Structure 1
Amino acid sequence: MEGYRVFVEGENWFEITGRSFSVKVSEKPDIVAIANHQGFVEDCKTGRKKNSDLYQVLIYLLLVPISIQRCRGLDLQGRLVYPDGVMEIQADQVDEGFKEQFRGAIATLSNSTPARKVPSYQECRYCDISAQYCSERVDAKPDQDLEKHDLF
């Protein structure tokens, strides 16, 4: 980005401690680029697009301005960079509805009563917690005997 001062990964690491919940959130945006009073927070992806990618950048846009000194007071925008293109994310997407959703997620994660587990092959295959520590983990793709159907 010509004319921008670019900070990468470790330079962008931050940690913020909640006031209402005893939780620490730490993040490390891939790229923060700053010029004048404008900044971009970018996350580079190598795989397929997922909804969680958008939420990750929205969380960056929520927390970066209060967690990284050099980003305070900037007009920040987000970007998801995929192999096949770029998705622009506007700061106004971090509205009160999103903030409430974020607070709700933090409340759930910090609750002394664990959230209800809903294991599935589709979810567990992306999880780093091994079966040694999670007895509910599903490692096998479910057997779907669908060979004899007449749907299509």
Structure 2
Amino acid sequence: MARIDFHILEESTPQACLQYVCRLTEKAYTQGCHIHIHTADDSMTEQLDELLWTFRERSFIPHQASCAGDELCAVTLNHSELPEKREVLINLATEVPSFYAHFERIIEVIANDETVKQQARARFRYYTERGEKPTHLELKK
């Protein structure tokens, strides 16, 4: 059974959400984890790809926006490819990825927006109906 956490942000903007994902990815990367960020679409993948290189002046998170050859890269991100088994899945899509069970830990990042929260509640139910025990964490600035 995977550990599933819903991180509910105080901010509601997509940019704040992506900034949080960068910090979260950096923390997991420095702890030696292999991470896959499941994005909502190509546009989000491109934004996050750029932001991971630039979000912090002294930060370096090697990553690639494809799963091809991903066994050599600690961080992958995209919305359509099935990654090799990873430790941490950060989900930014509106639905649960079909491959979620391949991960030890799943983090759902939720912006403070009512539509986004409703979609997150549906994912929470999805996990629960499959015997998972998701938790939620409300994050303050």
TM over 0.5: no
Q: Which has the larger radius of gyration?
A: 1
TM-score range (shorter-chain normalised) is under 0.3
Per residue, is there more helix in 1 or in 2? 2
Q: Taking structure 2 as the reference length, what is the TM-score of the superposition?
A: 0.27
